[in-house]
């Protein structure tokens, strides 16, 4: 990745963080922690990796992204709007009556959203279905699934993991937003997941890791994942919940807490000041 490209993506991420805080502050609802955690991952996918066409969202042979940890959808919406799937002014209608931007991703309302998610643990199975479809159609398209680390406590994830390896879906790339924090506390406190890498390896997955806040590290890991032959890949992206706003970082209370005026000002100061 060139320095210029890296800077471009980093600037975009900073802009998205600012916009996210603005929107969530204005609507007084939504999930800041998980959205900030996956900023670089989603932005790298949409602005560096995925073959998609905002003018033709259903284009045959496109890459697909499933935000399986659906509560982080504000970051998805910011990316889709920036790409041109819908007007940016729609973003302020998030979670409001008559908006196409639902509290959790809704594929039949929002252009560019490939699958409705929210209830956790289904995105990986649906991703296996999409990946197998693209194999039947021989399009060469890649299916990406973003998983939360709390989400992988759902049993369905491991059903999907078995199935993906049985059918050798090497066109499926899962990315784990591994921030170590879930709604009620840390993973260690609530439900320790142990050695996630070993778990996926034992399910016969190609397991890679990256710095989930370094766009170049994410991009390189995806390139490597695409070289996998006969195995699905999971990229374990080390992240921090609430990344970029110091008082939100690593704090489970920021999973879905409304942002007060005082916190808003402090967050904006850290992210580049009031606009």
> Where do contacts with another protein occur on this chain (CB under 8 A)?
64, 106-108, 114-116, 118-119, 121-122, 125-134, 136-137, 143, 155-156, 159-160, 162-163, 166-167
Whichever of 16 and 77 has its CB closer to another protein, that residue is 77
Whichever of 121 and 242 has its CB closer to another protein, that residue is 121
**Rounded distance, CA 272 to CA 90, Å?**
23
Whichever of 166 and 226 has its CB closer to another protein, that residue is 166
Sequence-distant (6+) residues with CB within 8 A of 251 are 33, 181, 241, 242
268 and 247 Cβ atoms separated by less than 8 Å: no
182 and 9 Cβ atoms separated by less than 8 Å: no
Nearest distance from C-beta of residue 170 to another protein, angstroms? 16
Nearest distance from C-beta of residue 159 to another protein, angstroms? 4
What is the residue whose two structure tokens read 């296996």?
128
Nearest distance from C-beta of residue 150 to another protein, angstroms? 17
What is the residue whose two structure tokens read 């170590």?
180
Helices (H), 60-206: 73-83, 123-137, 155-166, 187-190, 196-202
Whichever of 106 and 191 has its CB closer to another protein, that residue is 106
User: H helices then E strands: how many in the chain?
Assistant: 10, 7
Burial class (CB in 10 A: 0-12, 13-18, 19+), 203: buried
Whichever of 88 and 166 has its CB closer to another protein, that residue is 166
What is the residue whose two structure tokens read 């699934």?
145
Neighbouring CB atoms inside 10 A of 140's CB total: 11
**Rounded distance, CA 105 to CA 102, Å?**
6
Structure tokens at 55: 């003018």
Nearest distance from C-beta of residue 160 to another protein, angstroms? 5
Whichever of 48 and 114 has its CB closer to another protein, that residue is 114
Nearest distance from C-beta of residue 155 to another protein, angstroms? 7
Nearest distance from C-beta of residue 60 to another protein, angstroms? 8
**Rounded distance, CA 165 to CA 208, Å?**
15
Whichever of 72 and 267 has its CB closer to another protein, that residue is 72
Nearest distance from C-beta of residue 257 to another protein, angstroms? 25
């Amino acid at each position: 990745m060139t320095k210029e490209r890296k800077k471009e993506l980093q600037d975009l991420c900073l802009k998205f963080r600012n916009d996210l805080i603005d929107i969530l502050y204005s609507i007084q609802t939504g999930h800041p922690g998980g959205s900030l955690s996956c900023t670089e991952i989603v932005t790298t996918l949409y602005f560096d990796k995925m073959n998609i066409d905002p003018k033709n969202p259903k284009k045959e042979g496109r890459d697909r992204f499933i935000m399986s940890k659906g509560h982080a959808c504000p970051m998805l919406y910011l990316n889709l709007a920036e790409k041109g799937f819908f007007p940016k002014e729609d973003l302020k209608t998030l979670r409001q009556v008559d908006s196409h931007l639902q509290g959790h991703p809704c594929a039949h309302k929002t252009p560019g959203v490939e699958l409705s998610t929210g209830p956790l643990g289904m995105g990986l199975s649906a991703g296996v279905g999409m990946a197998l479809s693209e194999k039947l159609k021989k399009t060469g398209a890649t299916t990406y699934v973003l998983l939360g680390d709390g989400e992988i406590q759902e049993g369905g994830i491991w059903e999907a993991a078995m199935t993906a390896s049985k059918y050798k879906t090497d066109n499926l790339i899962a990315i784990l937003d591994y921030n170590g924090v879930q709604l009620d506390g840390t993973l260690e406190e609530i439900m320790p997941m142990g050695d996630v890498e070993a778990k996926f390896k034992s399910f016969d997955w190609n397991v890679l890791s990256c710095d989930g806040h370094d766009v170049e590290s994410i991009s390189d890991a995806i390139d490597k994942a695409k070289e996998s032959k006969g195995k699905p890949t999971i990229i374990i992206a080390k992240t921090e919940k609430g990344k970029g706003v110091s008082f939100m970082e690593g704090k489970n209370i920021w999973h879905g807490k409304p942002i007060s005026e005082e916190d808003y000002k402090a967050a904006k100061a850290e992210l580049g000041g009031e606009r």
